[in-house]
Amino acid sequence: MSAQDNLSQQLFHGTEADLSSGDIVKPNKGFSWASTVPEVAAQYGSKIYTVESLGDAKRVSGADKKFGIHASPTGFRVTGKQQ
C-alpha cells in the first residue's frame, strides 16, 4: 500500500470541541493529529469527527501500523461527525 493509498482511508479526530463540517482542526504544538481507527481518536475526546487531509498529512512511522496515526502541520478539514 502506498502512502497515498493510506491517506485515502477515512481519518478520525477526537476532541471535546464542538465542530461543524468545513471547520479546520488547527495544529497544536506544531501538528494536528488524526487516526484511521475511531477507537484511537476516541481516546482524545468524546466527540469523534471524520476529517480529511488538507494535502500535507503524513503517516507517523511506527504509530501508523497499530494506531493509524497521521500528522499534519496545517490541520484537517472536518467532513462530519461519527455517530
Q: pLDDT, tens digit, for every residue of 8-33?
A: 699 999 999 999 999 999 999 999 99
pLDDT of residue 50: 98
Who wins on pLDDT, 4 or 31? Answer: 31
What is the domain range of residue 40?
3-81
pLDDT of residue 83: 76
Q: How many domains does the chain have?
A: 1
What average pLDDT score do residues 59-72 get?
Answer: 91
Listed residue (81, 79, 37, 73) closest to 55, CA to CA: 73
Q: What is the pTM of this model?
A: 0.87
* CATH number of the domain where residue 9 is located: 3.20.170.40
